[in-house]
Structure 1
Amino acid sequence: MDMDHVETLECTLCGAEYDPDQVIYTCPEHPGVKGILEVKYDYERVLDRFDEPLDGRIGSQWKYRAFLPVADDVEPVTLGEGGTPLLDAPRLGDELGVDLRVKDDGRNPTGVLKDRATGVSTTKAREFGIDVVTCASTGNAAASLAGFAARGGFDCRLFVPGDAPEGKLAQPLVYGADVLGVRGSYDEAYDLSMEVTEEFGWYNRNAAVNPFQVEGKRTVGHELAEQTRGEVPDWLVFSMGDGCTIAGGWKGFREFADLDLVEEAPRMLGVQAEGASAIHDAFHEHDDVDEVADTVADSISVGRPRNTVKACSALEESDGESLLVSDEEILAAESLLGRTEGIYAEPAAATPVAGLRKAREAGIVEAGESVAVVVTGTGLKDTQSAMRAGGEVAAVDPDVREVIERYGEGS
């Protein structure tokens, strides 16, 4: 197993180092899941391995395989994830007073950015010779893992909270996974998934604790860096739940800047729902952190984020900022994004748009600054919320006069 470009797994709390050629999730020096591990690379070897042109043509995230912590001799488990477009968004940008582009990661194979991470974690399961994969999820990670498990020939066992949207559970069921609805919250489902991982030795995809998992999310940062070469945005906006996505996106973009593959890196703006604000509270050093999550944006409805340290580091290192938005602002942003740019986002994926609007009002983002917003999942994941955001169907009789009455003659 040749993985000499990966140096070590380093604990984010105490700096202890572990062999990357083993299955390990967190630093055992810290109870629970606090000792999150960070993959450290030998970047000279990474650059020696990376010979792809940065010409904006990205077929999939495996263009950046040289940066990913997988062995040279393993065949990736892939559905063609990554390579999503960065779209100019002039109408929405005019409304918000910024030069705006939107990275639409809802176009990934199962409809979510998490596919980037799942491609890496299922490839690692294959590398380690483990044939059962598992995770806890509010829906998106479950669907993603189930799809890639089917692709790679794994058994897949999933733990979801009882209030996960039905639309999100249809996907993993069609993919043939065992879906276990836990009578409790996401955090309780998460704790159960970690217990069964220890009990049965299944390979756990949980993004916050699987050190290789978040590394796949770096590719959204790599792609954004390549797609914005020569015109790096002032701000890069992500929603935050467990903290993995903003941490991964920042790490990928920062790597390209540090290696002089692009000229600079943007400031990060992290956006959370008011009902799930733990990372924002930690970043702003609030004392009254509420561990109960309650928001329409189920994909970021996390009361006890496991990757708070990495997320806050991304905000701090980039001279960034975080803020909170209400469920009403999230649903309004979902509708705004759809009607101005034709991009259909689930609530968590529209949260960055709501955050950008609020950041403009607060003067955090100034008029005319350039911004890239990352849409992390398609609106097809949660059609019930979409109906709340979009309004109701107008009923008419099959009579042209009713249409004329509504729109006028010759409209």
Structure 2
Amino acid sequence: MAMNHVTTLECTLCGATYDPDQVIYTCPEHEGVKGILEVNYDYDSIQDNFDAPLDGDIRSQWKYSAFLPVDDDADIISLKEGGTDHYNAPQLSERLGVETRVKDDGRNPTGVLKDRATSVAVTKARHAGRDVITCASTGNAAASLAGYAARAGMDCRIFVPGNAPEEKLAQPLVYGADVLGVNGSYDEAYDLSLEVTESYGWYNRNAAINPFQVEGKRTVGHELAEQTQDDVPDWLVFSMGDGCTIYGGWKGFREFYDLGYVDDTPKMLGVQAEGASAIHDAFHRHESASDVAETIADSIAVGRPRNTVKACRALEESGGTSVLVSDEEILDAERILGSTEGIYAEPAGAAPVAGVRAALADGIIEEDETVLVVVTGYGLKDTKSAMKAGDEVQHIDADLLEVERLYHDELIRHSD
């Protein structure tokens, strides 16, 4: 085993360090899961082993294998995650009133950005000789983990809250996972997943506590840095649930800046739903009204986020900030993103668009700045919400006159 480019796991609260070769989730000096660990690297070693050209040709996230915390002799479990395109979005830009680009990470193998983290988790779990891998999830991580576990030939057992969307549960079931619906909230399912990890030794993929999950997610920042190196946006926008994704995106982008691969970094804008605002409240030093999450955007419906420290660090270090949006604004953003650019996002994936609108209205984003929003999940993950976002089906008889009735004025104009 060799993971020489990873130096330590460091507690974000007390600074205690641990051997990165052991399976450890949080700092034992702190009760519960407060002692979240940061993965530290020897960047001289990374640079010695990273020789891929930054030419925009990204086949998968494993282009950046030199940066990823896996052993040299590990068999990589991959479904070709990463390498997602980013697009100019002229019609969306016109609609929002600010130059906007989109990176659609809903194009990952199971339809979600989390595949980046899951590939790393399953690779490490199998290399460590674990037979069972688990996590708690509102649906996306469940589908992602189940798919990669199937690829690895591992048993997968997932804990989901009772109100998880059925569409998201279909995926892990097809992938052959045991899906255990917990009669309670996501946080209760999460706590149960920790109990079984401690009791049975199952490998836990939970991104909020497994320190290596953020490291997989940071490849989205590497990709964005490479893809925008000649035109770094002023703002990079992510939705926030547990806080892992926005920090991963920031850490990856900042690494490429620190290593001299790009000349600038964006400000990070974190977007949360009004009914799940814990990270926003912490960043702005507001008192949280409740630790119960209530939002249509189930992927970010987290009442007690475990990575608040890292998420706030991303916002602060980048000179960015966070905003809140309503469920109605999220659904409207889902429809706008689809109808302007043909990008189908689940609610949490569309939330960044709603966040840009809110930030523009509040004067946080200026009209002469540039924005890049990251879509984290595909729309088919939650078709019930999509039906609320779009217009209703118009039922007609099988009669040409019915079509003429609907489009009479348009047909007249075209015939002139």
**TM-score where L is the length of structure 1:** 0.99
- Structure 2 equivalent of residue 345 of structure 1: 345
Does 1:162 pair with 2:162?
yes
- 1:269-306 deviation per Cα after TM superposition (whole angstroms, max 9, x unaligned): 00000000000000000123420100000000000000
Calculate the aligned-residue CA RMSD, in Å.
0.7
- Please list, as runs of the form range in 1=range in 2, the aligned pairs for 1:57-136 lying within 5 A after superposition: 57-136=57-136
- Structure 1 equivalent of residue 298 of structure 2: 298
Does 1:39 pair with 2:42?
no
Q: Structure 1 vs Structure 2: percent identity of aligned residues?
A: 74
Aligned-partner residue type, residue 157 of structure 1: R
- Structure 1 equivalent of residue 331 of structure 2: 331
Does 265-274 or 360-369 show the bigger shift? 360-369
- 1:339-397 deviation per Cα after TM superposition (whole angstroms, max 9, x unaligned): 00000000000000000011111110000211110000000000000000012100010
Does 1:141 pair with 2:141?
yes
Q: Is the 8 A contact 1:147 1:172 kept in 2?
A: yes
Aligned-partner residue type, residue 10 of structure 2: E
- 1:125-148 deviation per Cα after TM superposition (whole angstroms, max 9, x unaligned): 012111100000000000000000
Q: Is the 8 A contact 1:97 1:368 kept in 2?
A: no
Aligned-partner residue type, residue 219 of structure 2: T
Does 1:396 pair with 2:399?
no
Does 1:279 pair with 2:279?
yes
- 1:299-355 deviation per Cα after TM superposition (whole angstroms, max 9, x unaligned): 000000000000000000000010100000000000000000000000000000000
1: distance between equivalents of 2:368 and 2:46? 37
Aligned length: 411
Deviation for aligned residue 1:88: 0.6
- 1:82-140 deviation per Cα after TM superposition (whole angstroms, max 9, x unaligned): 00000110110111121111000000000000000000000110121111000000000
1: distance between equivalents of 2:145 and 2:238? 22
Does 1:18 pair with 2:18?
yes
- 1:33-67 deviation per Cα after TM superposition (whole angstroms, max 9, x unaligned): 00000000000001001000000000000000000
- SS of the aligned residue for 1:159 comes to strand
For structure 2, the residue ranges without an aligned partner over 5 or more in a row are none
- SS of the aligned residue for 2:211 comes to coil
1: distance between equivalents of 2:95 and 2:140? 30
Q: Is the 8 A contact 2:277 2:288 kept in 1?
A: no
- Structure 2 equivalent of residue 262 of structure 1: 262
Does 1:354 pair with 2:354?
yes
Aligned-partner residue type, residue 67 of structure 1: F
- Structure 1 equivalent of residue 252 of structure 2: 252
Aligned-partner residue type, residue 141 of structure 2: A
For structure 1, the residue ranges without an aligned partner over 5 or more in a row are none
**TM-score where L is the length of structure 2:** 0.98
2: distance between equivalents of 1:369 and 1:290? 35
Aligned-partner residue type, residue 119 of structure 1: S
Q: Is the 8 A contact 1:156 1:178 kept in 2?
A: yes
Q: Is the 8 A contact 1:281 1:289 kept in 2?
A: no
Does 285-294 or 326-335 show the bigger shift? 285-294
Q: Is the 8 A contact 1:88 1:102 kept in 2?
A: yes
1: distance between equivalents of 2:154 and 2:268? 36
Does 126-135 or 56-65 show the bigger shift? 126-135
2: distance between equivalents of 1:147 and 1:229? 33
